[in-house]
């Protein structure tokens, strides 16, 4: 994980060498000189001690869920309601198959029938048997990408339109909605966040945290969830994805299914999944470079662009997060520029779902970055 590790045992080399040198002189009565064999041996031994202490610190940190990594975090998951790391999930969408002409009896489209796009980028297959009813020419069925992960997301309607496994009377096929729902395996950060949220899962989803927990279990691509109850018995869920976009229909339907299950939802709750309100904002700024800067103009331009990109990701990374010009300025000043004039965005407070109105989320519009040239310090 990116979080800093706790230091249970000191590992400062100077302190350890000084302590070992003092102990050696105390035991032998010999003063250790800088170039003496004793000093060389002590430094070698100190390196071994430091290495062992570093391993001990690492082992101790792996007993803390907030610091554990990989398989160590998986083992600690036994302490929580959620006990397994979410695995990669395949994207899905709805495929419409059309036959050449209506038949007097139903035409079977077998489960596992494969389709792909014109470039054969990914292969998809139907998740169940489906029949084109007698007298009809088409039928809709769910298809699932054979490649798990986010690679299958974002195929727009009619982009998956090539049959792989022909069946009787086949004429054409095309997906009728955008593919979505694919997710990569949970990272350590995502898994730890889910473990913490799972403490609300020991009860049903009646608590706000319980609804958030069950919703986030749907996909590792979900960045934020707000559970709001504008009136008694009404629960509205708002879902934001990692890229700052609102959840598409595939994810929304899966979140609703997860939070509306009889063993999850209190009997008196009416649950729905709705969209937050998008609040557009632009970025327009001019930065100035100190004349004494050791970095080239090109390097600073790249650093400024990276800071703007990071800010945009942060700004749209959470529902109800105020559009904050000060955060942008802070990030930009860390690049090494002298000063910056930010004309847009202005500070805009956003609703966080705590009222009867829907929460809001920032949506980036245009980005204009200009360099004002060099200035004296």
pLDDT tens profile 52-78: 999 999 999 999 999 999 999 999 998
Q: Calculate mean pLDDT across residues 186-202.
A: 86
Mean of the pLDDT values across residues 194-209? 77
How many angstroms separate the CA atoms of 65 and 192, rounded? 7
Q: Is the pLDDT of residue 1 over 70?
A: no
Comparison of pLDDT for 211 and 203, the residue scoring more: 211
110-117 average pLDDT score? 97
How many C-alpha atoms does 266 have within 13 Å on its Cβ side? 15
Mean pLDDT of the chain: 92
Residue range 150-166, pLDDT digits in tens: 999 999 999 999 999 99
Q: At what angle do helices 325-333 and 297-315 cross, to 10 degrees?
A: 150
Q: Is the peptide bond before 345 cis (omega within 30 degrees of 0)?
A: yes
d(C-alpha 31, C-alpha 215), whole Å? 67
Q: What is the pLDDT of residue 3?
A: 66
| Residue with more model confidence, 203 or 130 | 130
Q: How far is CA 118 from the centre of its chain?
A: 30
Q: In the chain, helix, strand, coil percent, each to 5?
A: 30, 25, 40
Please choose, from the candidates 172, 17, 158, 179, the residue with its C-alpha nearest in 3D space to the C-alpha of residue 92.
179
Provide the Cα torsion 167, 170, 176, 179; round to 10°.
30
**Cβ-count burial 308-331 (b if 16+ within 10 Å, e if not):** beebbebbbbbbbbbbbbeebbeb
Tell me the per-residue pLDDT of 229-262, one tens digit each, with 9 for 90 and over.
988 889 999 999 999 999 998 899 999 999 988 7
Chain position carrying tokens 């327009």: 284
185 pLDDT higher than 80: yes
pTM, entire model = 0.67
Query: What is the pairing mode between strands 339-344 and 170-175?
Result: unpaired
CA distance 94 to 115: 12
């Amino acid at each position: 994980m990116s979080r800093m590790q706790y230091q249970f045992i000191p590992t400062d080399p100077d302190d350890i060498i000084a302590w070992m040198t003092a102990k050696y002189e105390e035991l032998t009565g010999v003063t250790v000189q800088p170039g003496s064999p004793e000093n060389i041996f002590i430094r070698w031994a100190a390196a071994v001690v430091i290495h062992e202490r570093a391993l001990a610190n690492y082992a101790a940190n792996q007993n803390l869920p907030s610091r554990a990594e990989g398989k160590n975090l998986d083992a600690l998951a036994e302490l929580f309601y959620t006990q397994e790391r979410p695995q990669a999930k395949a994207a899905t969408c709805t495929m419409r198959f059309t036959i050449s002409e209506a038949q007097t009896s139903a035409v079977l489209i077998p489960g596992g029938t494969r389709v792909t796009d014109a470039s054969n980028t990914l292969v998809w297959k139907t998740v169940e048997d489906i029949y084109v009813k007698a007298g009809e020419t088409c039928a809709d069925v769910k298809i699932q990408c054979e490649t798990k992960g986010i690679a299958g997301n974002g195929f727009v309607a009619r982009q998956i339109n090539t049959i792989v496994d022909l069946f009787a009377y086949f004429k054409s096929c095309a997906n009728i909605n955008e593919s979505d729902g694919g997710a990569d395996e949970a990272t350590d950060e995502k898994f730890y966040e889910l473990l913490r949220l799972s403490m609300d899962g020991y009860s049903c989803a009646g608590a706000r945290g319980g609804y958030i927990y069950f919703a986030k279990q749907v996909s590792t691509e979900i960045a934020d969830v707000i559970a709001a109850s504008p009136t008694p018995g009404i629960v509205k869920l708002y879902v934001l994805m990692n890229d700052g976009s609102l959840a598409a229909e595939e994810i929304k339907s899966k979140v609703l299914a997860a939070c509306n299950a009889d063993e999850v939802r209190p009997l008196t709750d009416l649950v729905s999944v709705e969209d937050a309100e998008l609040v557009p904002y632009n970025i327009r700024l001019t930065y100035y470079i100190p004349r004494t800067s050791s970095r080239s103009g090109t390097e600073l331009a790249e650093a400024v662009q990276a800071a703007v990109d990071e800010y945009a990701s942060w700004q749209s990374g959470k529902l109800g997060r105020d559009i904050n010009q000060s955060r942008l300025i802070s990030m930009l000043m860390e690049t090494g520029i002298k000063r910056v004039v930010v004309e847009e965005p202005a500070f805009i407070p956003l609703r966080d779902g705590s009222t009867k109105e829907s929460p809001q989320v920032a949506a980036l519009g245009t980005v204009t970055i200009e360099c004002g040239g060099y200035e004296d310090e």
